[in-house]
Amino acid sequence: VRRSREEAARTRRSAVKAASRLFRQRGIEAVGVDEVMAKLGMTAGGFYRHFLNKEALAAEACAEAFAESGLLQARSARALLRRYLSEEHRDAAAFGCPLPALTSDMARQPDAVRRAFTRGVRASAARVAQLAPGGNSLALLAGIVGALALARAVKDQELSAAILRGSRRFWMKELGRGRVRL
Amino acid sequence: VRRSREEAARTRRSAVKAASRLFRQRGIEAVGVDEVMAKLGMTAGGFYRHFLNKEALAAEACAEAFAESGLLQARSARALLRRYLSEEHRDAAAFGCPLPALTSDMARQPDAVRRAFTRGVRASAARVAQLAPGGNSLALLAGIVGALALARAVKDQELSAAILRGSRRFWMKELGRGRVRL
DNA sequence: TGTACATCAGTGAACGCGCGTTCACTGATGTAC
DNA sequence: TGTACATCAGTGAACGCGCGTTCACTGATGTAC
């Protein structure tokens, strides 16, 4: 059942995109190769025509997640905060920022995956520094990543919303004070 | 090979403590029941004399982790920041705060575990609010949790240290400004 | 206080299941002439 | 441009492994008399 080179290339790209979303939604270890391939209407066997193993897919999926990420494309610090710390972002992890979604998976991942993730952290920190120059970009980045991660982890709508709201207000005020400019 | 009631109770407590540490270090799903029992010098079969299943252990281990946690016992906001955002804490997840260690596992955990975790988040937020009244305790909590989680995830000593240092400085200054008092 | 029996903490082997990976096979695509 | 052959994307079954859980069994502890 050979396919044309173009079709094969499309299969590969689709696998990376599907994996990137599934991994963000449920974690890398919780998603099987079968499930990723099933998303493309294919069986797991063909996977190994495209990737050395699951680890290689995870590394590419990680890079892809940062490329899709809204954080790197944000126009202003205020817009970033509003969107990042929203309930929509909290409830759509599959299409959201990989930082809150994958951070705790990273400690247990092989080096290739961790390196891809680390590049994404550096790029995100640089983008935040651009949007809010003069401020403490690493503290801001850590603050919003932690807030989203906690808001997702907690089983209490009230508390979850309070975490997002509290962090949004705090960092908006910081921007207003000019210590972290927009 | 029956044991006395006291010995049995000790076994149970040891299992919870061991699990709490192993889970914080490597994540709940990455640690098997066998491994927890092996820490006590026992085999996995006996586990089910004490717990309904792994889920029940995870819920208790989670509560135990918060009970051991330095965050709830901190004396002052400054002392908390200094210890929490240290390289020692980063490198000793097994004995550290469960928030950065378990937050991303939570999304995939059964409700009983998530509830135990949520109680811990509430208690932690309350403690931070006590230590830094008038400030935005949820933003502070999210900020330090996110910083530690990122510092652990990143494969780059330099960047990891910068995340801790940057966040420590930022929040110390916030305390100094009195917007988050000590 | 001693004896007979019931209980039950822990053992070790087994079971079932899911998952990553391999492999013989198929048949359409690509290539050489 | 057409034909013959080689290549290789994808299939589907199988393998090996780890892990959660079960279970018959052991022998010390607990209890009833």
Side chain identity at residue A61, one-letter code: A
Chain B residues touching A171 at Cβ < 8 A = 139
Q: Of A104, A108, A163, which has the smallest distance from its Cβ to B149's Cβ?
A: A104
pLDDT one digit per residue (tens) for chain A, 182 residues: 899 999 999 999 999 999 999 999 999 999 999 999 999 999 999 999 999 999 999 999 999 999 998 899 999 999 999 999 999 999 999 999 999 999 988 988 999 999 999 999 999 999 999 999 988 999 999 999 999 999 999 999 999 999 999 999 999 999 987 655 44
Chain B residues touching A149 at Cβ < 8 A = 103-104, 142, 145-146, 149
**Closest protein residue to D27 using CA and C1' atoms?**
B1
Q: What is the pLDDT of residue A181?
A: 45
**Is the Cβ pair B104, A159 closer than 8 Å?**
no
Q: What is the pLDDT of residue A71?
A: 92
**CA-CA distances (angstroms) from residue A52 to A49, A119, B33?**
8, 21, 31
Q: Of A30, A143, A169, which has the smallest distance from its Cβ to B146's Cβ?
A: A143
Tokens standing for residue A149:
């991660």
> Which stretches of chain B score pLDDT less than 50?
181-182
Q: Of B153, B159, B171, which has the smallest distance from its Cβ to A122's Cβ?
A: B159
B44 min Cα distance to partner chain A (Å): 23
Query: Which DSSP string corresponds to B93-118?
Result: GGGS-HHHHHHHHHTTS-HHHHHHHH
**Closest protein residue to C23 using CA and C1' atoms?**
A45
**Is the Cβ pair B139, A99 closer than 8 Å?**
no
Tokens standing for residue A74:
């944000």
Q: What is the pLDDT of residue A43?
A: 96
* Residues near chain D strand, CB within 7 A: A 1-3, 5, 7-8, 11, 37, 41-46, 49-50; B 1-6, 29, 31-35, 44-45, 47-48, 53-55
How many CB atoms sit inside 10 A of residue B24's CB? Answer: 25
Nucleotide nearest to A7 (CA to C1'): D9
How many CB atoms sit inside 10 A of residue A42's CB? Answer: 15
Chain B residues touching A126 at Cβ < 8 A = none
**What is the pTM (predicted TM-score) of this model?**
0.94
Nucleotides of D under 7 A from a protein CB: 7-14, 18-24, 26-30
| B27/B33 Cα distance (integer angstroms) | 13
CB-CB contact of A33 with A84 (8 Å): no
DSSP letter at B182 equals -
